Structure 1
């Protein structure tokens, strides 16, 4: 993705993607705490005098991201500003624009920008699309199949021996996810917690697989890997929907912890968030 550079020093990248739903329905998914929690991470908006002033995302124990709300125009756009991508980098802004289309769909434009006088941060800004790709596909699936439903998230992420490619191969092999294609039916192998559904998205750069789960209950299972500059990490987010979602997530969490200990070359005990 190319970085747009302006004379003012503003540098930006833009992601455009289409989703089903009206502007009001899409707004509920991307601009409310329950909506964002249903496809990204547990989220809540801080308010002052009845207006949102900050968005908080929880990534698990000790991991929280906070961005100041700088613009709010429902159901068309909102914007926020947070700390930079890396230590010493300038603050980064994110704008979410909703544009209605014919046929009951909307285009979302997600624009990330920062101000800098050098090219030092262009690579990090340009890598934003790959970091968002799996989550934005989960948003599309949520709006297509689970629109308006609340979600309970159970997740784990583990440090695994080897390079990122080797860590991902270990996870994919253990779960029978090697070379799966979108549209293919997948069932977790014997010894793994019960999960079964349709593969909706499979990417190798980055490594992301999304399964729309129908057994033992409605959910989206997102499997992925990441190189965080230390041990390679693999993990899963399981977004459980509907009235039984919380109960399903509670049952799945300890089962996945036990499975991970037995089937992956982990470097330390797995951490669990919900």
Structure 2
């Protein structure tokens, strides 16, 4: 991480891959949708940029929220999009920079700016630092294990009582991950099928995540998180095609199971 300007979110991560492979992951709609959220990118300056944090690729296509402001492949991608918190709105500028390093790796730097003044924006900045820090680690996992492959996604969430950190501790106990550490091989309990290795544990103040590199119900990445002032609990599971695994069929089977599971947490 770079030194922080208090009014920006400025993060970086080292990832495997060539600049061209990394560019596909951070500057195209299918690439971003493979590790973050369904996204539309018109691949030229002035093109539409759509980002849907809880829906589908179709929703991102239908409701582009922003504009591409730089598209210098494979090194610099930037967008501007409306953003709001606490009844206040702004235009949030996001810049992605890719720099090649030795041994087949790149450094990806992401800078968000344009936040307004006040406590509401301070909390939003802190929450985005926590959330996007985890997202960049998910990008690293995607490029290390699934680069260029497109997933099927299972996503479900609900609201629970208490602040995010207390809800996260309760969530870890519920799924049998209380005391788990990065690197542990785990099998979740009391949930639909989910087993793999703990890659990220991020118990933040505004957002808390545990990220697993999973092999059951199929090869992919799972993120269980708590977030927000009115605490949400969410599951985001991406499954990739592999020999013996049809990701779309796995997602179709697993979606109602995870929806029922999160509803039971209320």
Normalising by structure 2, report the TM-score: 0.85
How many angstroms apart in 2 are the aligned matches of 1:107 and 1:19? 6
Residue of structure 2 equivalent to 1:173? 173
Structure 1 unaligned blocks of 5 or more = 6-10, 267-274
Report Cα offsets for 1:197-218 as digits up to 9, x if no partner: 1111112124111111112310
Report Cα offsets for 1:166-208 as digits up to 9, x if no partner: 322332111111121111011021x421111111111212411
Residue of structure 2 equivalent to 1:272? none
2:137 counterpart SS class:
helix
**1:202 to 2:196 alignment:** no
**1:54 to 2:48 alignment:** yes
How many angstroms apart in 1 are the aligned matches of 2:46 and 2:214? 33
Report Cα offsets for 1:121-171 as digits up to 9, x if no partner: 456435532121221111110000111111111111110123323322332
Larger radius of gyration: 1
1:177 to 1:245, Cα distance in 2 relative to 1, 3 A: same
Number of residue pairs matched by the alignment = 253
How many angstroms apart in 1 are the aligned matches of 2:148 and 2:174? 34
Residue of structure 1 equivalent to 2:150? 150
- Greater shift, 194-203 or 97-106, is seen at 194-203
- Greater shift, 242-251 or 96-105, is seen at 242-251
1:58 to 1:124, Cα distance in 2 relative to 1, 3 A: closer
Contact 1:213 1:221 in 2 (8 A): yes
2:193 counterpart SS class:
coil
**1:221 to 2:215 alignment:** no
Contact 1:184 1:199 in 2 (8 A): yes
- Greater shift, 216-225 or 125-134, is seen at 125-134
| Structure 1 residue 105: Cα displacement | 0.3
Residue of structure 2 equivalent to 1:234? 233
How many angstroms apart in 1 are the aligned matches of 2:46 and 2:42? 6
Contact 1:96 1:111 in 2 (8 A): yes
Residue of structure 1 equivalent to 2:67? 68
Structure 2 unaligned blocks of 5 or more = none
1:122 to 1:217, Cα distance in 2 relative to 1, 3 A: closer
How many angstroms apart in 2 are the aligned matches of 1:29 and 1:112? 18
Contact 2:94 2:112 in 1 (8 A): yes
Residue of structure 2 equivalent to 1:22? 18
How many angstroms apart in 2 are the aligned matches of 1:104 and 1:71? 25
RMSD: 2.5
- Greater shift, 167-176 or 248-257, is seen at 167-176
Normalising by structure 1, report the TM-score: 0.83
- In terms of fraction of residues, the more strand-rich structure is 1
